[in-house]
Structure 1
């Protein structure tokens, strides 16, 4: 009796790449910003996409692990969310899309907001803090960001000129520098310059807080 040979072709699934902006999230008109995508393997091909655009933005085959996509002369149409994906140069199977990174246009006509914390100090694990952002323009949206943590961004549409972001059950992961930006509801990709940062220190004791401020 003839044996039956079954051939199974295994598809290669590549880990999704990482993505970041070389400059800060807010970019001024006619400046240059570079979007970086990197993979876990060499000899990869990268594609950069902009959300809402049906066509590929750019394609790069870097010599190393990191692909750079420069955007020259930043305009309002360049603002938005970007993702990238990658595959081996010898493969036809693409990775999943990276997490999105948002490229926002800074409009100098929006006044720079101010930021404060209530209470102003004395934060212990399990406590709470309210971060207040004041926008002199009023009537728009307010974005709160933590430096180095794009996923922590929070958005609010306050009725007045002050947005209050409350953080409950504080932990060490909440510590860091926070800033806020003001924008218009009609265009979510245009905003003010970031406020001056405010530092949230979460410590086990008051003595530890004083020691951290002294360094």
Structure 2
């Protein structure tokens, strides 16, 4: 009698454990954008939701849009939600969740992903902040926007090949500095910045000029000026014309008049400098093989 009672008790506990396991919420998935969460209008992007289990059903939703829902079943542990011919209305915050065949509940929601569609506001200007008193190993990239409204804006620093913005600032001014600490050769690459209204992410600017940065570990003599500026007619006609703020015009004038700027610090590893010049502009214009289409600037940093 005692053995039969113990068997029934064990069976009840096991069944209760199985029911509890079925009703347990699965851990939250991750949501990423490819190639980037900041993309141009009329381009394509894919939002990828990744779970902790296989053979699951995924759902993609949009914050503040209860009617938006995409659902997809997958034998793998991830699902891709493609977006084609992006429009400003596609911008916004997205999140995803999933449920397994064994569970009755959706998982916790993923972290929100901010999808920004550029091309609705005039482009900002990105430059290297040249300050002789700068801390060794620190460099500042300055994003200057033509926005002169009263609303709070979000400014994001982008690097080509990195899906998410490197840094994001929410400000009420038209100038923002992004700090690059302990600069190394890994910081080399193409940078740009964009901005959008904090309460209207579908109203995002065109990307700024591309600023290509080289960081070298060499300590020899400075080479020839390495900053070039230029823009293609295709990109110029694509973007809407706008009136620039006096601060932006002054910044552009400083860049155009700057033949050479050298920054030295007390860094024991050598001299840190940014070299900027427009002297090669006429040469680049005559040799189309050396200057890619689009607004592009170059700066060299030595550490």
Q: How would you bin the TM-score normalised by the shorter chain?
A: 0.7 to 0.9
Partner-residue secondary structure (3-state), 2:167: strand
For the Cα contact (< 8 Å) 1:17–1:38, is it kept in 2?
Answer: yes
For the Cα contact (< 8 Å) 1:36–1:69, is it kept in 2?
Answer: yes
Check if 1:131 corresponds to 2:141.
yes
For the Cα contact (< 8 Å) 2:58–2:73, is it kept in 1?
Answer: yes
Partner-residue secondary structure (3-state), 1:54: strand
Aligned residue pairs, count: 206
For the Cα contact (< 8 Å) 2:91–2:201, is it kept in 1?
Answer: no
C-alpha distance in structure 2 between counterparts of 1:77 and 1:108, whole Å: 11
Task: For residue 60 of structure 1, report the CA deviation from its aligned partner.
Answer: 0.8
Give TM-score scaled by structure 1 length: 0.72
Structure 1: segments with no counterpart, 5+ residues: none
* Counterpart in the other structure of 2:41: 29
Task: For residue 39 of structure 1, report the CA deviation from its aligned partner.
Answer: 1.8
C-alpha distance in structure 2 between counterparts of 1:151 and 1:33, whole Å: 15
1:35-93, Cα deviation, whole Å (9 max, x unpaired): 11112322111110101122451001123232011223322322101011112133213
- CA distance 1:16–1:165, shift in 2 (3 Å): same
Partner-residue secondary structure (3-state), 2:192: strand
Check if 1:86 corresponds to 2:149.
no
The structure with higher relative contact order (CA 8 Å, sep 6+) is 1
* Counterpart in the other structure of 1:153: 167
Q: Could you say which structure has the higher helix fraction?
A: 2
* Counterpart in the other structure of 2:200: 187
* Counterpart in the other structure of 2:62: 50
C-alpha distance in structure 2 between counterparts of 1:83 and 1:185, whole Å: 18
Structure 2: segments with no counterpart, 5+ residues: 218-266, 274-300
C-alpha distance in structure 1 between counterparts of 2:46 and 2:163, whole Å: 18
Partner-residue secondary structure (3-state), 1:77: helix
C-alpha distance in structure 2 between counterparts of 1:101 and 1:60, whole Å: 18
User: Which structure has the greater CA radius of gyration?
Assistant: 2
Q: Could you say which structure has the higher strand fraction?
A: 1
- CA distance 1:146–1:183, shift in 2 (3 Å): closer
Give TM-score scaled by structure 2 length: 0.54
* Counterpart in the other structure of 2:176: 163
C-alpha distance in structure 2 between counterparts of 1:71 and 1:131, whole Å: 31
Partner-residue secondary structure (3-state), 1:61: strand
Q: 1:107 aligns with which of 112, 116, 119?
A: 119
